Structure 1
Amino acid sequence: MSEAHGEIRTIQRDRNTESLDLSFWPGSVPLRQRWRNNGLSADFLGDYVTTFFPLDENDPATRQRQSEIRGAVSFIANELLENAMKFHDDSLPEPITMRLFLHQEEIIFQQINSAGQEAADRFRAFVDRLRNSDPGELYIQQLEEGAASEGSAGLGYLTMINDYGADLAWRFEPLDNNGYRVTTQVVVRI
C-alpha cells in the first residue's frame, strides 16, 4: 500500500504542459563518476527551463528573472539527484528518474528512486521530522548537528523550503522485493 507524506500532485500531460524526463541506472558507472554528472544534469535542466523565459532587451528585469529561475532549477535538481544517487538501492530493478514539469506559474520536480527497507525507514523518519518542524529552526539544528558530525542531512530540502518557498511531498510505494519506490515532489512557484 502506497504511503504519502504531503500532497503528491498527479500531473496530467497535455499540450499545455512542457515536461522533460531523465532516467539513470546508477549501477552502470561508479557512483563517484555519476556524482560528477549530477551537476551537469542539473545545469542542463536549469538551461532547458530558461528557454521558456526569453530575454527582452527592453526589459532588464527579464535577465534577472531568467537567472533566478535557472539558479533555482539547477540547485533543486542537483540536490534531488545527489540524494537519489546516495540512497538508491542498486539491487532493486528501478532506475533513478527525474521529471520536470513546467506550468504557467510553477515548476514541478518529481524525483523517483528505489530504497531498501532500512534506508526508507530512516528517510521516512526524517520526512516526518521535517513536516512537523519549523523549517527555519530545523535548518539551524541540522547545521549545528552537521558541524558536530561532519554531515549535512536534509539541508538541501530545508534550503528548498527556506530559500525558494518550495512545497515538498513524498510517496513510498512498496516493491515486490522488499524495497520501496520513493517519489519526492518539489513544487516551486515562478
Structure 2
Amino acid sequence: MVEDYGEIYPLQHDRQAECLHLSFWPGSLPLQQRWRNNGLSADFLGDYVTTFFPLDDADPATRRRQNEIRGAVGFIANELLENAMKFHDERSLQPITVDMNLQKQVILLRETNAAAAAEVERLRGFVKQLQTSDPGELYVQQLEENALSESTAGMGFLTMINDYDADLAWRFEALADSGFRVTTQVTIRI
C-alpha cells in the first residue's frame, strides 16, 4: 500500500540536474551524537548547493541569494534529519536517506526513513490538518500551544512553508514488518 499526500516528484538524474544522496544508519551512534552530525550534514548540503550559484563581486545580490539558498537548504535539511532520527524505527533494516536534487527551477530535498505505525498515524494526522488549514494560522496556533507545553510538533514543517515558501509532500509505504517507509519531500523554488 502506498499513500501520497501532495505530489511526489521524481528525482532528476541527467545532465540538467545535480543530485546528492546521503545515507545514515541511526543505530550506529547514540542519538545525542547524531544531533551534531545532523547539523554538519545539513550545513554540508547548504554549502554544496551554493557552488551552483557563484558569487559575482560586481553584483552584491549574488551574495544575498547564495546566503538565502544556503540558509534555506541548511534549515530544511536539518529539520528533515532531526525528524528522521527522532522517529526512525530502529528495528528496521532500512537506512535513513536524504536526497538533494537541484533542477532548473527548484531544489528538491527528500528524506526517507522507517517508522512504526503509531508514529505514522500521528504524522498523517498532522499532514491532514495541514492540508485543510491555513499554514500561517496553524503556525500561530502551534506557537501558542508550544508556550503552554514542550511540544514542538510540526513547527519545522510550518516554518518551511511560512519562511521559505516550500511545498511539502509525503509518501507512506507499508513495509512487510508492519511498519512504514515514510518519505518527506520539500520543494523550494529558486
In the TM superposition, what whole-angstrom CA distance separates every residue of 1:79-125 from its partner, at most 9, and x where no partner exists? 00001011000001111100000012110011000000111111111
1:113 is the counterpart of 2:113: yes
**1:11 Cα deviation after fit:** 2.0
How far did 1:60 drift?
Answer: 0.8
Q: State the partner residue of 1:37.
A: 37
Give the aligned partner of residue 137 of structure 1: 137
| Structure 1 equivalent of residue 84 of structure 2 | 84
**Whole-Å separation in 2 of the counterparts to 1:103 and 1:11:** 9
| TM-score under structure 2 length normalisation | 0.98
Report the Cα offset of residue 10 of structure 1.
Answer: 1.6
Alpha-carbon distance in 1 for matches of 2:47, 2:152:
27
Amino acid aligned to 1:32 = Q
Which residue in 1 is equivalent to 2:147? 147
- Per the normalisation by structure 1, the TM-score is 0.98
Q: Aligned with 1:153: secondary structure?
A: coil
Gaps of 5+ in 1: none
Following TM superposition, the consecutive aligned residue runs of length 4 or more in structure 1 with deviations greater than 3 angstroms are none
Match of 2:171 in 1: 171
Question: Secondary structure of 2:57's partner?
Answer: coil
- Aligned counterpart, 1:46: 46
After superposition, give the CA deviation of every residue in 1:61-91 in whole Å (9 maximum; x if it has no partner). 1011001000000000000000101100000
Q: SS where residue 81 of structure 1 aligns?
A: helix
* Residue in structure 2 matched with residue 183 of structure 1 by the alignment: 183
Contact 2:12 2:19 in 1 (8 A): no
Instruction: Give a deviation string over 1:146-168, Cα, whole Å, max 9, x none.
Output: 11111211011001101111000
2: CA distance between counterparts of 1:79 and 1:131?
A: 20
Q: Partner letter of residue 19 of structure 2?
A: S
Q: Which residue identity does 1:129 align to in structure 2?
A: Q
Find the aligned partners of 1:52 and 1:87 in 2 and give their Cα distance: 32
Distance 1:37 1:71 in 2: 17
The whole-number CA distance in structure 2 between the counterparts of 1:90 and 1:157 is 23
What is the letter of the counterpart of residue 158 of structure 1?
L
Q: CA deviation at 1:15?
A: 1.4
1:16-35 alignment to 2 at 5 Å?
Answer: 16-35=16-35
Q: What is the aligned partner in structure 1 of residue 63 from structure 2?
A: 63
State the Cα distance separating 1:12 from its structure 2 match: 3.1
The one-letter amino acid paired with 1:39 is G
Percent of pairs with identical residues: 66
User: What SS does the aligned partner of 2:13 have?
Assistant: coil
